[in-house]
Amino acid sequence: MADLRQFKLPDVGEGLTEGEILSWLVAVGDTVVVNQPLCEVETAKAAVELPSPFAGTVTALHFEPGTTVDVGAPIITIDVGGDGATAGGATAPATAPEPTAPTGSGLIGETNANGRTAVLVGYGPRSTEARRRPRRTGEAAAARATAPQVLPEADYGSGSDRPPLLATAPDATVKPVRHGGLETGRAAEAHLAGADAAPAPVVPAAPGRGALRPLAKPPVRKYAKDLGIDLASVTGTGEGGVITRADVDAARSAVAPAPAPSVVRTAAAGDTRIPVKGVRKHTAAAMVASAFTAPHVTEFLTVDVTRTMKLRERLAARPELAGVKVSPLLFVAKAVLLAAQRHPMVNSSWDEAAQEIVVHGAVNLGIAAATPRGLVVPNVKDAGRLSLVELAGALADLTATARAGRTPPADMSGGTLTITNVGVFGVDTGTPILNPGESAILAFGAVRDTPWVHKGKVVPRKVTTLALSFDHRVIDGELGSRFLADVGALLHDPGTALVF
């Protein structure tokens, strides 16, 4: 009577969660003994051979070579019953042949004549050869192929409990799969025995054990597979030439993504290709890094800024501001600086390496500027110490230098808080992306004449919309809302700056 046991993938390292089956060293129908290597598995630490904990006949291989398997998942089924190899009436030897190894039996934990000890992960000596069981007759194979058999859970290895499996369903059709040039599966047995069976497609054999494989840990292999990167084309920079995740990312960035299968783009008259380099390349990389590392939240506030616009007209006419550009952006910048004094956490950075929040003592105020070479964000160092007139001059110099393409690297680094003025393009608002290393960015929309309820009446007022994006790891909803409300209050009534 058949006694089926499942061998589950063990944890062959220290806390590993998965391994990749490189190759099978046995096939369905082979007779195996205890400690005989069954397969070669690559983990995050090494490639090892897994020895069999059972003696018997292989009835099923559950995964193809190249498959990454979770620890605890059944990978092979072995019939350990005394007459399991003779199911259906076929004749088989009563006992398996004795191994002919010259040194010891090779059992787990036993030391051979060479002084080596066989261990679980397959470093012990291989003392036996795989043996094929006798071929079944057509009637025996047909009877076995149609009889449902329940596979009990193995008592070896770790993993979550699973319900019993049917070896074959009465109405199921099992297609033969080639393994090392031999058909496997119950349909293959019937085919070998001469039984009538419909032809089935054959899966090509996996590469042999001798094939050269790129050196990479299973998590890196899975990452490369998900990205569609062929590891054979990647140069490893890790110790001993091992391919790392960074190597895969570098290969991905060096190769243009293939178009979707359903979309075919061909060159057309008038098409222009623009190389992504310099400022554009840096900006693209920075925005991708920011978008997929900092959890963004964006809040919006529509504000009546009529009083601020009137103040702007009055200040522009003052002698001390002659020749200085008094723009709406100047008042937004001043409001942001004042609000940051009340809410210092907004002017912070997330230190991933140290797992700390760095609250900056000075506000290096970044101003996003569109230039022919792309978007740049120079910043005014310690902008909070400047008076309104000094701030106006600094902003004018900053934007003029940026548009001329002469911004020095020092002005492009060290920013802590940024404003982007989308209103200059007639845009009402947007959802800005944080500059890497910063925790907040404010979008300032266009100032428009808008019907507004003022003193109980609907009248035209100067109205704008502010959008604040922030890193939710540093700034929670309450802090972000209070900061944005303070900026709005200062722009609605500039006189409130006297009480800040």
* Residue numbers annotated as active site: 472
For residues 432 and 429, what is the distance between their CA atoms, to the nearest angstrom?
A: 9
The one-letter amino acid at 124: G
Collapsing DSSP to helix, strand or coil, 393 comes out as helix
The one-letter amino acid at 182: L
For residues 351 and 357, what is the distance between their CA atoms, to the nearest angstrom?
A: 6
Torsion of CA 246, 20, 207, 40, to 10 degrees: 130
Q: H or E element: which one contains 20?
A: strand 18-24
Q: Which of 460, 433, 432 is nearest to 447 (CA)?
A: 460
Query: Residue 42 in contact with residue 218, Cβ under 8 Å?
Result: yes
For residues 368 and 402, what is the distance between their CA atoms, to the nearest angstrom?
A: 10
Burial class (CB in 10 A: 0-12, 13-18, 19+), 451: exposed
For residues 54 and 42, what is the distance between their CA atoms, to the nearest angstrom?
A: 22
Q: Which of 422, 413, 481, 472 is nearest to 448 (CA)?
A: 422
What are 400's two structure tokens?
């003029």
What are 362's two structure tokens?
């000075």
Collapsing DSSP to helix, strand or coil, 417 comes out as strand
Collapsing DSSP to helix, strand or coil, 108 comes out as coil
Which letter does DSSP use for residue 346 in this model? G
Q: What is the β-pairing status of strands 4-8 and 448-454? A: unpaired
- Separate counts of helices (H) and strands (E) for the chain: 10, 24
C-alpha pair distances (Å), 357 with each of 346, 370, 439, 440: 11, 30, 10, 13
What are 335's two structure tokens?
């409001």
Please report the beta strands in 245-400, taking only residues with DSSP state E, as ranges in sequence order: 296-304, 348-351, 356-359, 365-367, 369-371, 374-376, 379-380
Count how many residues are written for the chain: 500
The one-letter amino acid at 102: P
User: How would DSSP label each residue in 277-295?
Assistant: -HHHHHHHHHHHHHHTTS-
